[in-house]
Amino acid sequence: MSDEKSSQMNVAGFVIKPDAPELFTVYNDIKEKFERRDIKVLLLQESAQMISVTAGVSFTELCTQSDFLVSLGGDGTLLGLVRNSYGYNKPVMGINAGTLGFLADVRIEEVDRFLDGLLIGQYRMENRMMIDAYIQTADGRKNFHAFNDVVITRPSISHMVKIDASIDGEWFNTYRGDGLIISTPTGATAYNLAAGGPLVYPLSKAFIMTPIAAHSLTQRPLVLPSNFTIDFSSPKDRVIVMVDGQDDYEMQAGEMLVINCAQVDARLLHKKERNYFSVLREKLHWGEKE
């Protein structure tokens, strides 16, 4: 959390939810709120084209010229922005124009109050673990990062996958079933939760490994410290590797997926009063009367 006046929040780089031209009016209203506080607004070129605005910049320009990045949409928009901007080390703010809002928690009607707090240091900065991964092929490495999860899954609905898993180079398990989720604590409330995995406090650093429809009742979710290197291979079959539910890669039989904790955390800007457990109660409807 920051309690000092922010002097480095002068330029905001906006990304708008793809295929949502209806956000044109919302974006213009929010842009005016930023500019009224002398915060310059840059807009991603693809977002500008979508809402028929002429002034847009490339993603590289957006990340290098902005002091912080802003996603206007839902959690999926924020996920993509965090992952794609990895390496620029820019804080990311999520304005919730979607429905869920585990990550993008600033509602449209709260933007004025959030910006007033931001400029005097009244906000919460959260460091979130990310995954640094690569697929080792005969031709080299395919490198990528994940914010929520990496999912190894079957290429067709009729096909079971067999996944060999090793920790720090030592084999420890073979998973058979529909696949396997390797999640960060941030991603614990995503696919991991739907597959029966545990909730883990999002500021922790740990890997959560949750089998998907395992063909054995003895296979259970496993939580591991983030300092391990975990690798996976499918000895006989091709599998699909999904990254944050947005990007996918083919992994051929005998190739290896290697997962580490990324050296640099994602940084999320939140309301100062944000409380993770309150969010859980609200989004998961805990404690409601029958």
- The C-alpha atoms of residue 257 and residue 48 are separated, in whole angstroms, by 36
Catalytic residue among 3, 38, 67, 75: 75
Contact present, 94 and 75 (Cβ < 8 Å): yes
DSSP letter for 17, please: P
- The C-alpha atoms of residue 60 and residue 137 are separated, in whole angstroms, by 28
- The C-alpha atoms of residue 99 and residue 214 are separated, in whole angstroms, by 31
* CB contact set of 289 (below 8 Å; sequence gap of 6+): none
> Is 75 known to be catalytic?
yes
> CA torsion 68→72→76→77, rounded to 10°?
-60
- The C-alpha atoms of residue 240 and residue 252 are separated, in whole angstroms, by 9
One DSSP character per residue, 91-155 reads -EEEEE-SS--SS--EEGGGHHHHHHHHTTT-BEEEEE--EEEEEEETTEEEEEEESSEEEEE-S
The set of catalytic residues is 75
